[in-house]
Amino acid sequence: MSISIQAETRVLIAGSNQSAGRALFRATAGAVIPGSGRIIRPPSEDIRFLPQRPYLPRGSLRQILVDDEDEVPDERIFDLLRELGLEGVLGQVGGLDQEQDWGARISSREQQLLAFVRILLAAPRFVLLDRVGATLDSEQVQQILRMLSERSITCVNIGEPDARRNLYNAVLDCGEDGSWVWAPSGRETLR
């Protein structure tokens, strides 16, 4: 298989062989996995990964959302939290600077959305998502894809077999027998 993913596109990796998509996610992230091949990816500063179960370390909301070297105005953080319906989390934890144990404090859905806020604040050129549809509903997935497109961030989503293919520019369909099909997808307008 040889595929080149163009900048500012949305690609879905789906099909009956879900383990192939997960292996591709891990290999692209740099994990050692069995097999052979070559993945050419953007430099580390230009790519982010959002696993199905994001890790949010103990710390303040500001610490989990903003890289140490970045200076992000509070209003920008508040705007993204509002846009993703996370104002309640902000109130629940007492603002941006109160240390929390995030795994015990908020739901998996909220953890996933906070990890997405971190990606938007970092503004990479590429993002790989691993089965975000398992935690988020289809409207939230559509909102995330729209927000990435508005910011010209290329997105590769390792999706569920029933993911809405028309939300993507192309689909890589991985079959159980190791076969694959790369096809353009009918594109729906993201609202």
Q: What is the pLDDT of residues 42-79, one digit of tens each?
A: 898 999 999 888 888 899 999 999 987 678 999 999 99
Query: How far is the C-alpha of 148 from the C-alpha of 128, rounded, in Å?
Result: 11
The answer to whether residue 3 is domain-embedded is: no
The answer to whether residue 191 is domain-embedded is: no
Instruction: Give the range of the structural domain holding residue 101, as residue numbers without chain letter.
Output: 10-184
> What is the number of domains present in the chain?
1
The answer to whether residue 103 is domain-embedded is: yes
Whether 121 contacts 76, CB under 8 Å: yes
Question: For the chain, give me the number of helices (H) and strands (E)?
Answer: 7, 6
The answer to whether residue 59 is domain-embedded is: yes
Tell me: pLDDT of 191 over 60: no
Q: What is the mean pLDDT of residues 117-123?
A: 94
The answer to whether residue 41 is domain-embedded is: yes
Using a pLDDT cut of 70, give the percent of the chain over it. Answer: 96
The answer to whether residue 129 is domain-embedded is: yes
Tens digits of residue pLDDT in 31-42: 877 777 888 888
Q: What is the CATH number of the domain that holds 107?
A: 3.40.50.300
Whether 151 contacts 120, CB under 8 Å: yes
The answer to whether residue 68 is domain-embedded is: yes
Is 80 or 67 the better-scoring residue by pLDDT?
80
